[in-house]
Amino acid sequence: MKISMYQASVPAFIRALNNLAAILEKAEAHAQGRKIDPAALLNARLFPDMFPLVRQVQLATDSATGGAARLADVGVPAYENTEATFPELVARLRKSVVFLETLEAGRIDGTEDKTVSWQTRSSTKSMQGLAFLMSHVLPNVHFHVTTAYNILRHNGLEIGKLDYLGRN
Amino acid sequence: MKISMYQASVPAFIRALNNLAAILEKAEAHAQGRKIDPAALLNARLFPDMFPLVRQVQLATDSATGGAARLADVGVPAYENTEATFPELVARLRKSVVFLETLEAGRIDGTEDKTVSWQTRSSTKSMQGLAFLMSHVLPNVHFHVTTAYNILRHNGLEIGKLDYLGRN
């Protein structure tokens, strides 16, 4: 018995982005309840040369949608990175989930040996599909969701591991 | 074409733990070079009720070895959680990698529909193998490695995303 590239990718991305959306909704409610300027959370970062919360959320969606699109060989969704509020970030997450839901399993299944290439700031990289998924895309999605979680935890939001993992 | 449960689990765990070991070695060298008490990093945490670095590393190994052992239906390695230095944490990571390397692919392949049960502090949980891997074990491994990374970044260690992802 075997599993498929689709089973090891898109459902996990959707779950991670939905969990992050729920965390951001808690953060927004927390800011309202405590009369905290939402920007104090949205622009928070763990170190001056790390990305702030807004960018971590954008990168979580880009990692998931870009990774899935490259495996499926469809256009990579491009967003403008203009989000400046919690509702706008949640909308980006929801939009990314809708994109992921449109991807047919058949376009991703069988891509484990396919060569995936992508452009970084300084070079072109390529990996085989399975390594691209397991060593690059999945770790990146979880990295940015976890870092968003850590920024909010560090700033006092009362969330726990189950918010990160999802409750079902 | 298909992939297997082994391909989607053990190699990713080994990679994540090896990357974390390399990060801890950089942290130790950084502490020595800057005459920082290693305990200041080892006991650092992002919020008072979050786990410190030492425990994040222990949980990264437990998530990986426990997850793989439950899929493979072999005994879950139990460590004593007595590590108090960087070399001890690196040794725990190396020991965990050795355990993971002993697991035969044939014991994990085909476990996607198997029911995996485990004990939490308050209850017994169970999930099907594929969901256990994709929604529980892999997110947990990446969570604890990322949080260890974030604690060190927050404390000024000069590392970057490539240290987290691994360089090859």
CA distances from A108 to A10, A102, A127, B52, B112 (A): 9, 12, 15, 39, 19
Tokens of B30: 């950084």
B47 touches chain A (CB under 8 A): yes
Among candidates B46, B130, B146 on the partner chain, residue whose Cβ is nearest the Cβ of A7? B130
pLDDT for residue A1 is more than 90: no
* pLDDT for the residue numbered B120: 82
% of chain A with per-residue pLDDT over 70: 99
Nearest CA in chain A to B144: A146
- Evaluate whether B70 touches B76 at the Cβ level (below 8 Å): yes
CA distance A145 to chain B (A): 9
Please report residues of B whose CB lies closer than 8 A to that of A161.
Answer: 143
* pLDDT for the residue numbered B13: 98
pLDDT for residue A55 is more than 70: yes
pLDDT for residue B138 is more than 80: yes
* pLDDT for the residue numbered B168: 64
- Evaluate whether B145 touches B89 at the Cβ level (below 8 Å): no
- Residue A124 banded pLDDT, cuts 50, 70, 90: very high
Q: What pLDDT digit, counting tens, does each position of B20-31 carry?
A: 999 999 999 999
- Span A107-128, average pLDDT: 93
- Residue A119 banded pLDDT, cuts 50, 70, 90: confident
* pLDDT for the residue numbered B167: 81
Strands (E), chain B: 115-119, 124-128
Say if the Cβ atoms of A46 and B50 lie within 8 Å: no
Higher pLDDT: A124 or B1? It is A124
Nearest CA in chain A to B1: A110
For chain B, the distance separating the N- and C-terminal CA atoms, rounded to the nearest angstrom, is: 25
Q: What pLDDT digit, counting tens, does each position of B45-99 carry?
A: 999 999 999 999 999 999 999 999 999 999 999 999 999 999 999 999 999 999 9
% of chain B with per-residue pLDDT over 70: 99
Say if the Cβ atoms of A134 and B1 lie within 8 Å: no
* pLDDT for the residue numbered B163: 98
Q: What pLDDT digit, counting tens, does each position of A65-89 carry?
A: 999 999 999 999 999 999 999 999 9
Nearest C-alpha neighbor of A94 from the set A54, A66, A120, A61: A61
Q: Name residue A125's beta-bridge partners.
A: A118
Rounded Cα distance, B144 and B20, in Å: 10
B114 touches chain A (CB under 8 A): no
* pLDDT for the residue numbered A168: 64
pLDDT for residue A166 is more than 90: yes
Nearest CA in chain B to A145: B143
In which region does residue B73 sit, left (phi positive, over 0), alpha (psi from -120 to 50) or beta (all else)?
left
- Residue B152 banded pLDDT, cuts 50, 70, 90: very high
Strands A115-119 and B115-119: unpaired
Interface predicted TM-score of the whole assembly (ipTM), two decimals: 0.97
A114 touches chain B (CB under 8 A): no
